[in-house]
């Protein structure tokens, strides 16, 4: 596969043929009888100051991809190249400096914040672990970080349960920012929040990106949220990327039938008078243990042809950095 994003010199992260297979065991002796192919040969890159959206239905492998990039899960195969360094080869100790540069924020900030720690200790913890501040410096840094995410020093002595969902997500963001990361993996960061609060957190992430020069991998199942924040979007189905393109191109001219179906489900304001036809996908997502032969989407695709059941369509360059894995996709 060619370069998915054009210029290579400002690439921050490059992922090549990443696989994350989980063994399925059964019987008394727990014999391995198969593998869940959660991430199955995924390649993409992320540029400096770029937001790459990663979308798909629940269970498509997008969150597992995020965790594997940080080596919270050891990859089964593939390459994770961060600014020229192959992370997949590093030990836990060797990974430490890269853990600092690559942070993650989760969907449920409450479960990722220690309920027995006050906010100042939660945010100070990574500063201490990575020896980034000491003494009074720590308190000043915590106050600066709270300010950066729209909270203030009065919040420093409170416990996570004293905050709303949106405020807790801000605390999670402050903790991630404490170590001056370059890349943040945002794993469904607004999915648990009310719509009005979602917008505030998204706006905060955008402001922080322009202030601090961050890159994001923004994982979500809600395509309208992803559209708002992303520069490019990758669509995943059964552990594979089926389409990747710049956000405007993907939303205005989706090439893969799966992307077309996902987009048709987004309610849109009728400004132009033309209404997008809703495409109802038939059937369930097949098991990632035994994905269908050929194109994995063929069991649900409206345009399936005999050849779709024979071979998996490669992710092809359709021009202008628009890639799709469908035999019928045209430039
Ligand atoms: Fe549908 Fe065939 Fe394209 Fe797969 S390759 S998405 S089955 S038309």
Choice between 1 and 239, residue whose per-residue pLDDT is larger: 239
Place of tokens 């039938």: 257
pLDDT over 70 at 6, yes or no: no
Residues 308 and 191 grouped into a single domain: no
Residue 328 token pair:
């019928």
How far apart are the CA of 292 and the centre of ligand 1, in A? 12
Q: Are residues 60 and 127 in the same domain?
A: yes
Whether residue 23 is found in the same domain as residue 164: yes
Domain that holds residue 287: 255-267+277-330
CA of 295 to the centre of ligand 1 (A): 6
CB atoms under 10 Å from CB of 206, counted, come to 15
282 assigned to some structural domain? yes
Same domain, 308 and 221: no
pLDDT of 260 > 60? The answer is: yes
In a domain, residue 1? The reply is no
pLDDT digits (tens, 9 = 90+) for 283-305: 788 889 999 999 999 999 999 99
Give the 3-state secondary structure percentages of the chain, helix then strand then coil, rounded to 5.
35, 25, 40
What is the number of alpha carbons within 13 Å of residue 207 lying toward its C-beta?
Answer: 12
Residue 6 in domain? no
Residue 270, pLDDT above cutoff 80: no
Percent of the chain with pLDDT over 70: 94
Kindly report, residue by residue over 143-160, the tens digit of the pLDDT. 999 999 999 999 999 999
Q: How far is the CA of 33 from the centre of ligand 1 (A)?
A: 29
Residues 48 and 168 in one domain: yes
Give the position, in ligand 1's atom list, of the atom nearest the Cα of 327: 5
CA atoms within 13 A on the CB side of 50: 21
- pLDDT of 276 reads 67
For residue 3, what pLDDT is reported? Answer: 44
> Which atom of ligand 1 is nearest to 295's Cα?
4
Residue 238 lies in a domain: no
Question: Is the same domain home to 89 and 128?
Answer: yes
Give, for ligand 1, the residue of 257, 300, 311 to mutate: max count of ligand atoms closer than 8 Å to Cβ. 257
How many A from CA of 259 to the centre of ligand 1? Answer: 11
- Which of 293, 298, 307 has the most ligand 1 atoms within 8 A of CB, as the residue to mutate? 298
**Same structural domain for residues 159 and 212?**
yes
Number of domains in the chain: 2
**Which tokens is 135 given?**
């003494």
Note the helical H segments in 178-244.
195-212, 223-229
Q: Ligand 1: distance of its center to the CA of 303 in Å?
A: 6
56 C-alpha vs ligand 1 centroid, how far in Å?
17
Looking at the structure, do residues 156 and 305 belong to the same domain, yes or no? Answer: no
Question: DSSP string covering 208-224, please?
Answer: HHHHHT-EEEEEES-HH
Confidence (pLDDT) at 268: 67
| Eight-class DSSP state of 156 | G
pLDDT of residue 277: 77
Q: How far apart are CA 309 and CA 205, in angstroms?
A: 42
Q: 216-252: string of b/e by CB count within 10 Å (b at 16+)?
A: bbbbbbebebbbbbbbbbbbbbbbbbbbbbbbebbbe
Q: What is the pLDDT of residues 9-42, one digit of tens each?
A: 699 999 999 999 999 998 888 899 999 999 999 9
State which ligand 1 atom lies nearest to the alpha carbon of 313. 5
Alpha helices, H only, the chain: 62-69, 92-101, 109-112, 119-129, 136-148, 165-177, 195-212, 223-229, 247-252, 257-264
What residues are in contact with ligand 1 under a 6 Å CB criterion? 256-257, 295, 297-298, 301, 303-305, 308, 313, 326-328
Strand order in the sheet with 183-187: 102-105, 183-187, 215-220, 51-55, 232-237, 240-246, 323-324, 316-317
The DSSP letter of residue 14 is E
The mean pLDDT value of the chain amounts to: 91
Return all residues near 236 (Cβ < 8 A) that are at least 6 apart: 42, 54, 55, 56, 60, 61, 62, 65, 242
pLDDT reported for residue 8 = 54
Chain segment 152-207, per-residue pLDDT in tens? 999 999 999 999 999 999 999 999 999 999 999 999 999 888 888 999 999 999 99
Q: Establish if 163 belongs to a structural domain.
A: yes
- CB contact at 8 A, 197 and 146: no
The lowest-confidence range among 99-113, 123-137, 283-297, 298-312 is 99-113
Mind listing the pLDDT tens digit for each residue in 69-91?
999 999 999 999 999 999 999 99
Which CATH number is 193's domain given? 3.40.50.300
What is the structure's pLDDT at 284? 82
Same domain? For 260 and 226 the reply is: no
Closest ligand 1 atom, residue 296 Cα: 4
288 and 142 in a single domain? The answer is: no
CA of 327 to the centre of ligand 1 (A): 6
Task: Let me know whether 166 and 293 are in one domain.
Answer: no
- The answer to whether 62 touches 54, Cβ cutoff 8 Å, is yes
- Is there a single domain that holds both residue 200 and residue 260? no
Q: What is the structure's pLDDT at 192?
A: 84
């Amino acid at each position: 596969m060619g370069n998915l994003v054009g210029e290579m010199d400002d690439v921050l992260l490059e992922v090549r043929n990443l696989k994350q297979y989980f063994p399925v065991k059964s019987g008394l002796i727990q014999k391995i009888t198969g593998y869940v192919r959660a991430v199955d040969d995924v390649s993409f890159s992320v540029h400096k100051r770029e937001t790459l959206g990663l979308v798909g239905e629940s269970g498509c492998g997008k969150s597992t991809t995020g965790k594997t990039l940080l080596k919270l899960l050891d990859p089964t195969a593939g390459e994770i190249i961060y600014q020229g360094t192959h992370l997949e080869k590093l030990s836990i100790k060797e990974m430490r400096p890269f853990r600092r540069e690559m942070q993650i924020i989760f969907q449920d900030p409450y479960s990722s914040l220690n309920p027995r720690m006050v906010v100042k200790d939660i945010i100070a913890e990574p500063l201490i672990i990575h020896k980034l501040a000491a003494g009074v410096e720590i308190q000043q840094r915590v106050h600066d970080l709270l300010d950066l995410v729209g909270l203030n020093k009065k919040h420093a002595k409170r416990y996570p349960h004293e905050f709303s969902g949106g405020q807790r997500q801000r605390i999670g963001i402050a903790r991630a920012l404490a170590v001056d990361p370059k890349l943040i993996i945002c794993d469904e960061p607004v999915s648990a929040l009310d719509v009005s609060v979602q917008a505030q957190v998204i706006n905060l992430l955008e402001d922080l990106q322009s202030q601090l020069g961050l890159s994001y991998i923004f994982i979500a199942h809600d395509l309208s949220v992803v559209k708002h924040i992303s520069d490019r979007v990758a669509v995943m189905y059964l552990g594979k990327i089926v389409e990747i393109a710049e956000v405007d191109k993907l939303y205005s001219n989706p090439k893969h039938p799966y992307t077309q179906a996902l987009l048709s489900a987004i309610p849109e304001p009728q400004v132009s008078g033309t209404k997008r036809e809703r495409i109802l996908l038939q059937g369930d997502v097949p098991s990632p243990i035994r994905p269908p032969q050929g194109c994995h989407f063929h069991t649900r695709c409206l345009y399936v042809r005999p050849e779709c059941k024979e071979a998996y369509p490669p992710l092809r360059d359709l021009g202008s950095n628009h890639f799709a894995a469908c035999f019928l996709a045209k430039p």
